[in-house]
Amino acid sequence: MADPYQTNSHKQTLSLHERPSSVIVNSIEAAEDQNVKQDHRPDTTAAIPRTNAKQLQSENETSRMNENPVSPSSPSQTLIPIPTSTLTITQQIIITFTLTSTCILTSSAAQMLNIALPLIKTELHMEESDLQWVLSSYNLSIGCLLLFCGRIADIYGKKKVLLVGLTVLTVFFIIGGFMQNGSGLIVTRALTGCGAAMTIPSSTGIIAELFSGKARSRVFACFSAGFSIGGILGLLIGALFVSYVRYTWRSCFFFAAGLGLLGVVLVLFTVPKDIPTIDDENKSVDWLGAALITIGLVCFLFAISDAQAAPQGWKTGYIIALLIVGISMIISFFFWEHYIASVLKKPPLMRLALWTRANGRLAILFITGFLGQTGFMACLYNATLLFQEVQKTGSVGAMLRFLPLEISGIICTIVVVIVIHKIPAYWLIVTGLLATGFGNMCFALTEEHTNYWRLPFNGMWLIVLGVDLFFPTALIYVAALSLPDEYSVASGLFQTVLRIGITVGLSSASIIFNARRNHALQQGKSENEAYLKGLQSSFWLSAAACWFGAILAAIVLRGLGVFGKEIKADPEFEATKEGEKPEQGEQLDGNNLQSVGRREKIEKV
């Protein structure tokens, strides 16, 4: 069969990650070959587990037949070849800085109003039950639109979508700063989240598209650090502006708008033009699928977020109705995606094979990310309450206690960039989840008068270490198992799962907090003691979620190797490449499968 990425008029040797084969779907690019000089970018190998060759071939054939209605052998309907990127070191550094800055901006926007909530409540005369939506509306919009925006970025161009997203962010930051009532503020926060939903998957798609090998791993490590650093930076900005700037929380919006405008300029002039990955005939959007998943997530996440403030809690009628509708629409989305790909022969919003690649281990990665994220964001939120409400540090004191987190985040990022090519991905993922759990445990053991440097400080750097170990490793793995025309949608799916984890984690922590606090009050504890008991229970819940994720990863993800490790040819797989089928039950290693694909590339040269 002819190479689907070649036409008669344009024959070129493509880098390995640009070929839709089972080799690529289950591996990262091969290590740099000194005998082949066609690709100017260094290649890497995957940290991919051992997989059955027959299953790989069957999975790829099924995915291409059922989910891609266009025959890849048809010259007029092939995917557009992707040219090899030849970025200089300076360009790589500038692009890395630009994309990481956008990540820091969107992450800090989620946290910068935390400390200002009491002031916002007073100034805008908001009810306590409505106050949570100042924060939740932003995260809700992001979580519901990531998958859809990822597909749009893959179809119409990642740089274009990134620029639109940053523009939307900037505009609604400015509008939010002028809001004079709570309802208007909540709406502008939701619309700001729409802009953030465009920037996140398009940024990761750009990284996967422009970088390969060790360069890709390093950029993903820096980009991922932006999530943890941005979240903490948002808390610091909020504390400083509330305490020392004239317009307090409104100034946070204006400051973020300035950063957004700077981001637009940087992206416009530093990020290369979009590289087409889908031909015109396949540039169609699954609008029904987009409506099902978006509305379903809105109903589901809204119900979870609002349940605690509802008149009768989880027993409230509209909460139950929204949960049923949301879950039903999400399930219907998966059935529809199968139907549109296998029966209607049209491009789906999301290939269902994303959940089954690498023997389903990609799905396990999504689940462990969900569990880890419940521990990270809930820990930051509860730590703020611990410092301000229990230890009575005030906004400035809370800000100072978060300051070492920025330093440790930068240090952790540097460490991850160094070790990500030396330590197996399996250990990075498991260690990251364990570290986040132990960070929550440090806070769970903290009392009202506990010295900051004894437990809270250790909890701070442990949760940052955990996120910085897990997140870039997971992003690299997701990019490795994605085809060029689904980089952004795969990242969007992963980010959607993480956002659901944040919402579920905060809601679960709130349930545990209220139950334990009320129980402590019934036992005659003081208000401050009861509040502390509730927070400690929430920290233990977050720790348990992270540790469960670590156990799951330790069992299922065992075998993930080292990113960028050189591999050697194996005669066993040479025979497989030439048509000899492996023995029944014979296991083929993903790294050696990578060698086969790489030899195919050399032969074409």
Residue 341, number of CB atoms within 10 A of its CB: 25
Residue 17 DSSP class: G
Q: What confidence category does residue 586 fall into, taking pLDDT thresholds of 50, 70 and 90?
A: very low
Distance CA 531, CA 513 (A): 8
Of all residues in the chain, what percent carry a pLDDT higher than 70?
78
Q: Give per-residue pLDDT as tens, 447-484.
A: 989 999 999 999 988 988 888 888 888 888 888 888 88
Q: Is the pLDDT reported for residue 179 higher than 50? A: yes
Quickly tell me which residue has 């005939």 as its tokens.
Answer: 281
SS (H, E, C) 349-378: CCCHHHHCCCCCHHHHHHHHHHHHHHHHHH
Phi, psi of 80, rounded to the nearest 5 degrees: -75, 130
73 vs 430, residue with greater confidence: 430
Cβ distance 380 to 232 under 8 Å? yes
Q: What is the DSSP code (8-state) at residue 564?
A: T
Cα distance between residue 146 and residue 199, in whole Å: 9
Strand partners, 7: 10
Q: Phi/psi at 595 (nearest 5 deg)? A: -60, -40
Q: Which range, 4-13, 280-289, 395-404, 504-513, is most confident?
A: 504-513
What is the pLDDT confidence band of residue 563, given thresholds at 50, 70 and 90? low
Q: Would the pLDDT of 231 be above 50?
A: yes
In this predicted structure, what is the pLDDT of residue 72?
A: 33
* 443, 383 contact by CB (below 8 A): yes
Percent pLDDT > 90 in the chain is: 33
The whole-chain average pLDDT of the chain stands at 77
* Range in 347-351, 486-490, 500-504, 557-561 the model is least confident about: 557-561
**pLDDT of 129-172, one tens digit each?**
677 788 888 888 898 999 999 989 988 899 999 999 999 999 99
Q: Please provide the size of the chain in residues.
A: 605
Above 70 in pLDDT, residue 14? no
Whole-number Å distance between alpha carbons of 401 and 174: 29
pLDDT higher than 50, residue 523: yes
Decide if pLDDT at 3 tops 90. no
**DSSP states along 162-228:** HHHHHHHHHHHHHHHTT--SHHHHHHHHHHHHHHHHHHHHHHHHHHHHH--HHHHHHHHHHHHHHHH
Taking only the tens place, the pLDDT of each residue in 245-278 is 777 888 889 999 999 999 999 999 999 988 777 7
Backbone angles phi, psi at 169, to 5 degrees: -55, -50
pTM of the model: 0.75
Question: Given this model, what pLDDT does residue 509 score?
Answer: 87
| Spatial distance between the Cα atoms of 592 and 531, rounded to a whole number of angstroms | 56
Answer for the pair 85, 41: CB distance below 8 angstroms, yes or no.
yes
- How many CB atoms neighbour CB 526 within 10 A? 10
| Lowest mean pLDDT, pick from 27-31, 157-161, 322-326, 340-344 | 27-31
Asked whether the beta carbons of 112 and 237 are under 8 A apart, the reply is: yes
Smallest Cα–Cα separation from 274: which of 488, 41, 37, 495?
488
The CA distance from 549 to 430, in Å, is 8
CA dist 438 to 464, 467, 503, Å? 11, 12, 21
